[in-house]
């Protein structure tokens, strides 16, 4: 997690936690996690190979970037339990959590950028969703990959990030030109399947078998499921969610 012995680090952690605690949303949350990475970490340019050739580096997002802040807003247990009730239909509580949390994350990043500006620190952020390439369904700023680099967690077989607070929640990140303490790289693999194949519940829960035992994901099959998931309202506000792979033993905590 982000070291709070740094005045700047404490300011950021307090701001994120305060915004989540005071969120006027139907969705309830647990305590958010916050961490940071050095903007010069060589894993950032490597994302062009592993995520998308057009993936941005922190420097491209904010010239003069020195640190990247990553944070995770974990859903309340009741949100997870609601989506576990039906193996196919998406719970409205889960869909609402997706919509409300995306809005909340945007408010958090905007607030951080404004707050840090009062300290003479510049910041820039990408939206929590929608920043992907439609043909290949790959992102030009992957909040999940940023979270791994920042030490918040590790990828699971379901291609979600498993943090100390599980994987059921949403991620956000901000690039800043202030220097933050860098956490030592974490080598903990929090996915039981990838560690010793003792789980695999997400494989069973995926309604369209988009996941595979060789740690691959059929992005288009997953995306089509998201667009056509039963149980969701129609129209322009239809949330692009499913979440059935994120309600197993790693949903609310790290099983490792």
Give the pLDDT score at 247. 95
Whether 93 is in a domain gets the answer yes
- In this structure, of 24-33, 61-70, 125-134, 196-205, the range with the lowest mean pLDDT score is 125-134
Domain count, the chain: 1
Whether 87 is in a domain gets the answer yes
pLDDT 10s digits, 160-185: 999 999 999 999 999 999 999 886 66
pLDDT 10s digits, 187-198: 689 999 999 999
Q: Which domain holds residue 174?
A: 7-182+190-246
Average pLDDT along the chain: 91
Whether 205 is in a domain gets the answer yes
Whether 252 is in a domain gets the answer no
Task: Name, in order, each residue with C-beta under 8 angstroms of 140's C-beta and a sequence gap of 6 or more.
Answer: 52, 54, 55, 56, 126, 131, 132, 133
Facing residues of 36 across strands? 69
Give the pLDDT score at 228. 81
Residue 240 in this model has a pLDDT that exceeds 90 = no
Sign of CA dihedral 251, 253, 255, 256: positive
What the block records as the tokens of 29 is 């949350």
pLDDT 10s digits, 90-105: 999 999 999 999 999 9
Whether 98 is in a domain gets the answer yes
Residue 6: left if φ>0, alpha if ψ -120 to 50, beta else—which one?
beta
**What is the Cα 116 distance to its own chain's centre?**
22
Whether 92 is in a domain gets the answer yes
Task: Name, in order, each residue with C-beta under 8 angstroms of 96's C-beta and a sequence gap of 6 or more.
Answer: 26, 27, 239
pLDDT band, residue 139 (cuts 50/70/90):
confident
In this structure, are residues 69 and 112 in contact, taking their beta carbons and an 8 Å threshold? yes
* Residue 117: HSE in the Cβ half-sphere, 13 Å Cα cutoff: 8
Give the pLDDT score at 135. 66
pLDDT 10s digits, 37-77: 999 999 999 999 999 999 999 999 999 999 999 999 999 99
Facing residues of 169 across strands? 74
Query: Model's pTM, two decimal places?
Result: 0.93
Whether 214 is in a domain gets the answer yes
Whether 1 is in a domain gets the answer no
Residue 4 in this model has a pLDDT that exceeds 80 = no
Give the pLDDT score at 188. 82
Distance (Å, rounded) from C-alpha 182 to C-alpha 164? 18
Residue 134 in this model has a pLDDT that exceeds 80 = no
């Amino acid at each position: 997690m982000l070291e709070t012995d740094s005045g700047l680090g404490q300011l950021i952690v307090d701001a994120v936690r305060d915004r989540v605690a005071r969120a006027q949303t139907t969705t309830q949350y647990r305590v958010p996690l916050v961490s940071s990475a050095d903007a010069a970490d060589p894993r950032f340019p490597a994302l062009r190979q592993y995520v998308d050739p057009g993936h941005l580096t922190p420097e491209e997002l904010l010239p003069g970037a020195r640190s990247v802040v990553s944070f995770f807003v974990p859903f309340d247990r009741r949100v997870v339990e609601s989506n576990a009730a039906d193996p196919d239909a998406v719970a409205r509580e889960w869909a609402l959590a997706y919509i409300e949390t995306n809005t909340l994350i945007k408010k958090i990043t905007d607030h951080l950028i404004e707050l840090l500006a009062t300290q003479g620190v510049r910041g820039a952020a990408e939206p929590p969703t929608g920043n992907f390439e439609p043909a290949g369904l790959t992102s030009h700023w992957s909040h999940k990959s940023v979270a791994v680099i920042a030490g918040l967690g590790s990828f699971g077989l379901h291609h979600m990030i498993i943090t100390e607070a599980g994987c059921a929640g949403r991620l956000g990140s901000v690039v800043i030109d202030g220097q933050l303490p860098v956490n030592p790289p974490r080598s903990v693999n929090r996915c039981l399947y990838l560690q010793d194949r003792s789980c695999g519940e997400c494989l069973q829960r995926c309604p369209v078998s988009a996941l595979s035992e060789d740690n691959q994901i059929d992005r288009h099959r997953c995306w089509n499921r998201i667009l056509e998931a039963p149980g969701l309202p129609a129209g322009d506000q239809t949330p692009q969610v499913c979440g059935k792979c994120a309600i197993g033993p790693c949903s609310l905590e790290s099983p490792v």
